[in-house]
């Protein structure tokens, strides 16, 4: 199969969209498929990618500019006509639109004109972000943009049942469920390091871990209710625009900066509890990685975490905004070693079969569904 991935975000910026693209590209190139990527241009960005199997994948960079105030977000400035030429050059069987907005929106228009099937993967709750960034007046316009983009696609994939229901409620059609995989060979309790624990926390302290971007939509400031708990050390892994403010508000917390690969996996395995306070998660990839590492998880009863965390078995879900519930849930698990261990084992078991190869083959089925539907549309004209 010839698969063209149009990624709204890609290397060198690492986030959930980039991670998902890298994983599926690794799988498909190893399976013998032909893959190419279209992504925004970055200064000194690579124009090819070496995948896990050693194959080179062409990355076709598109002119872009940084979003004002957020240099990690690149806005494509190319036209649909220019994208048509790129698509024609590769002659894909299907186009994978990774979190489509501006670049993906132009790509889906170009694909429609060329009669190429598209699968749009919804990953970012942009309407929800508008309120978090103080621009609630843009929420309606954001939904209009997303509805227009996704309804042009052959089908849309949502990462969780809550997100699927939200998309349908806002008029998005042909929505299916496609979750994310987790690398269980990398994220494992076997990487637990007493040396790292001693570096991060004092003797006998329990470690509560957060991993993710330090930005308003992640609500990391909610962890302040954990920060001052006796015998507990809050460790925050990640970078972002709120880092300095968070350090001022939570002076006892340890800030490690960005971590990836084995380094990240070791931090996860060396913690006692994982908390993700963001209420706008469409899925929650770091939650899965924490569970694979043997950690119980606490998260709000909102969005993606509702599918991932089973209360009273793999962790706790609290009412969004009720930080007293968050603190009570943390107390329940941090100071009951037997319960915490049982929840951690159940968490690891719950994600054991959610591997990227399994999820990538499920995605291939959706590609084929889009191709088949497109043939039917062509035959009817």
Nearest to 280, CA basis, from 216, 329, 209:
216
Q: Tell which residue, 366, 379, 357, has the closest CA to residue 93.
A: 366
**208 and 160 belong to one structural domain:** no
**Vertex 283, ends 49 and 169: CA angle to 5°?**
120
Q: What is the CA radius of gyration of the chain?
A: 21
Please tell me the predicted confidence (pLDDT) of residue 377.
52
> Is the domain of 339 the same as that of 365?
no
If asked whether residues 259 and 367 sit together in one domain, one would say no
Mean pLDDT, to the nearest integer, of 308-314? 98
Instruction: Give 175-230 pLDDT, tens digit per residue.
Output: 999 999 999 999 999 999 999 999 999 999 999 999 999 999 999 999 999 999 99
| Same-domain status, 69 and 217 | no
Contact 40, 9 (CB under 8 A): yes
Mean pLDDT, residues 161-171: 97
Give DSSP secondary structure letters for 318-374: E-TT-HHHHHHHHHHHHT-HHHHHHHHHHHHHHHTT--HHHHHHHHHHHHHHHHHHH
Six-digit token string for 264: 């990240």
Which tokens in the block code for residue 225? Answer: 């209710």
Instruction: Give the containing element (helix H, strand E) for 177.
Output: strand 175-177
Tell me, yes or no, whether 50 and 7 share the same domain.
Answer: yes
pLDDT tens digits for 33-46?
A: 999 999 999 887 78
Average pLDDT over residues 26-39: 96
Judgement on whether residues 50 and 137 belong to the same structural domain of the protein: yes
Verdict on whether the full-model pTM lies above 0.75: yes
DSSP 136: G
In sequence order, the 6+-apart residues with CB closer than 8 A to the CB of 244 are none
Same domain, 217 and 321: yes
What is the residue range of 164's domain?
2-181+356-379
Q: Which helix (H) or strand (E) holds 206?
A: strand 206-211
- Number of Cβ atoms within 10 Å of the Cβ of 102: 18
In order, the DSSP letters of 207-272 are EEEEES--SGGGTGGGGHHHHT-TTEEEEEE---TTHHHHHHH-TTSEEEE---HHHHHHHHHT-S
Task: Indicate the range of 49-63, 66-80, 345-359, 367-381 predicted with least confidence.
Answer: 367-381
- Choose among 52, 43, 1, 2: nearest CA to 23: 52
C-alpha separations of 197 from 183, 190, 223, 268, 342 in Å: 23, 14, 20, 11, 21
C-alpha of 70 from chain center:
18
Count: domains in the chain: 2
Q: Check if the beta carbon of residue 261 is closer than 8 Å to that of residue 245.
A: no
| pLDDT score of 341 more than 70 | yes
Q: Are residues 348 and 360 in the same domain?
A: no
**Average pLDDT, stretch 335-346?**
98
- Same domain for 144 and 220, yes or no, is no
Helix, strand and coil in the chain, % to nearest 5: 45, 20, 35
Q: What does the alpha-carbon distance between residue 288 and residue 308 come to, in Å, rounded to a whole number?
A: 7
The domain that holds 223 is classified in CATH as 3.40.50.2000
Residues 148 and 209 in one domain: no
Helices 80-90 and 102-114 meet at what angle, rounded to 10?
60
Question: Does 199 lie in the same domain as 343?
Answer: yes
Domain identity same for 360 and 348: no
């Amino acid at each position: 199969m010839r698969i063209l991935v149009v990624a709204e975000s890609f290397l060198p910026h690492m986030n959930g969209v980039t991670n998902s693209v890298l994983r599926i590209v690794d799988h498909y190139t190893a399976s013998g498929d032909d893959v190419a990527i279209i992504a925004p241009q970055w200064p000194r960005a690579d124009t090819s990618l070496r995948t896990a199997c050693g194959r080179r994948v062409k990355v076709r960079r598109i002119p872009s500019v940084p979003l004002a105030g957020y240099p990690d977000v690149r806005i494509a400035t190319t036209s649909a006509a220019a994208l048509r030429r790129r698509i024609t050059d590769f002659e894909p069987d299907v186009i994978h639109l990774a979190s489509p907005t501006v670049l993906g929106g132009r790509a889906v228009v170009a694909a429609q004109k060329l009669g190429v099937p598209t699968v749009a993967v919804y990953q970012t709750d942009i309407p929800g972000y508008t309120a978090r960034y103080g621009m609630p007046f843009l929420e309606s316009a954001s939904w209009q943009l997303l509805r227009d983009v996704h309804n042009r696609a052959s089908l849309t994939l949502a990462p969780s049942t809550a997100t699927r229901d939200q998309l349908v409620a806002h008029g998005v059609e042909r929505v299916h469920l496609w979750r994310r995989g987790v690398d269980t060979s990398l994220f494992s309790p076997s990487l637990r390091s007493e040396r790292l624990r001693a570096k991060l926390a004092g003797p006998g302290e329990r470690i509560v871990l957060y991993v993710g971007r330090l930005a308003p939509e992640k609500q990391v400031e909610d962890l302040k209710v954990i920060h001052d708990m006796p015998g507990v050390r809050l460790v925050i892994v990640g970078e972002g625009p709120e880092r300095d403010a968070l350090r001022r508000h939570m002076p006892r917390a340890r800030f490690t900066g960005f971590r990836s690969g084995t380094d990240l996996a070791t931090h996860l395995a060396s913690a006692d509890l994982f908390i993700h306070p963001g209420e706008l998660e469409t899925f929650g990839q770091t939650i899965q990685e924490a569970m694979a590492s043997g950690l119980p998880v606490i998260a709000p009863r909102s969005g993606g975490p509702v599918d991932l965390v089973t209360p009273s078995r793999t962790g706790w879900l609290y009412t969004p905004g009720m930080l007293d519930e968050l603190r009570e849930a943390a107390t329940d698990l941090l100071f009951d070693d037997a319960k915490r261990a049982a929840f951690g084992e159940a968490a690891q078991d719950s994600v054991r079969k959610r591997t990227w190869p399994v999820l990538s083959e499920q995605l291939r089925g959706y590609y084929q569904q889009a191709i088949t539907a497109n043939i039917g549309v062509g035959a009817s004209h």
